[in-house]
Structure 1
């Protein structure tokens, strides 16, 4: 006995990862549908040992289906998610469309699982931004020990956060560096990404911050605590998969680095790799394909009274997107939905 699951955007990076994780975690599936836009109709994707042919999202009938995992942009989500929700299928949405809606819970299961009780208002649950998801997994257990006043975070975000086009652009530009006659100008990103870093993700806002930076601020407040002050600088780096973050935290009270290390070792979804020696930390290439959020370089910040620094790395296609969505589905099933 299991559930009827639809994966929307099944041909994209996140959609394919959703299918992989559903299989890896042995999610109880009775029937599964791979949905995509009409231009991808008939494309094949894998679910465990099974090959699925994609169906047309625009004409798919969601009646009788239990959960739809959405991994498409906000425009398609705006058209199709309400239709699925109205048909009785619970939508778990990976776009930014519903994250700031007060009637839609924004969930990281390790952090605010109880907020899922509000899903029935719209039959929609929001998945946070990839950079936010891994950060709050690290912040919340520390916040529970002593309240966080302020967070300063700089991100080092991989090109897969921009989808397949981002991966292709890094690959093509890297090859073109060694073949000057094959110039590959920037199209997905605003500047060359190969052998470069770009301090710009998302459009600019009136205060000079970017949309990605604003998301980290707003989502951390909604998920963890609205009183936390957050300032972010989000940077795209020439890494295929895996986001990294340098996080500076100011607490209301003193928290010793050894106690912080012990707290994080016990925290759900966290793996601490923190040795003060060459290679005693985790880099993004080492986290690819893993479920955990890795924490390294935990140390006191001597420039403020109650400060800590840490390094946070996670597979952005997993915890930052697909894994978190599947974990939400698991939570939804365990608390509210009946199998079969």
Structure 2
């Protein structure tokens, strides 16, 4: 692994290594201000913490692979070819192997391993089919389960509520944190970003609808949160942070530091003069990416990170206090057209029960 592919934060390793160094997983959804949280947390300057230059996103390549080889919006499992299943499974395995390479280094140096991943990227393609059809295809689920080092134990169990590509034992090796945002703010923002990517030729119009449909939901986050509550060795519920609180009451991050063990003194609420752009690191740890692919993914990152990278602090007008979904829906139809506006409104209304459920469990300061 090249040294440039590792972001090692400040602070020397402790003299006496802990028996089980912690691993921290931020479970996000696109456009929920997760990158803002990383900026406020000041992840690059958190003492004794290891992450990738992206701050995670190890499973982004697997998501891209799945969209290329398996039309999982329209194809049930029995219509996938063996080649498609194998390629997607192998891509998932490469992502896990890359993550575990970092984790092994963190463990060796007694560091905290940190990653941020979008919830959906960790779920089996079979889970989407189940959510659409209601049919649980056990063999289709098995096709995408990944192998992990035996350092996490030899047992491999998959509880009914675990529809990810990981075993229960592996998921329990992470301390999870969830970030959420009101769907009426997150989903149109995501659709807008997907359209910008289509305008740049990164994805086509089908990709705009497909990526939006699979991500414009809190279903995957809630499933993983509820799975966490079922685990016998998880002493407390995972922390949940709402983007509204993050923006209007950013001191909530101090409480989050207490719950995760991160250093409060590293937290920042302004970053004027910080010229480093996270989008510059996009795809830099993918050795198989061509120059054209790297440029494409970097451009996509600039689209997704444009507000944050042009800011010098928290932008509060991105989080209004009052949200009228019906009034906003009329604006979406004007901006995106009738069909897309209806899609966004339906996704927002469908997401509200899961959002309200998680919001009721959020941490406050």
Under a length normalisation based on structure 1, what TM-score does the superposition of the two structures give?
A: 0.27
Between 1 and 2, higher relative CO (CA 8 Å, sep ≥ 6) is seen in 2
Higher fraction of strand: 1
TM-score (norm 2): 0.26
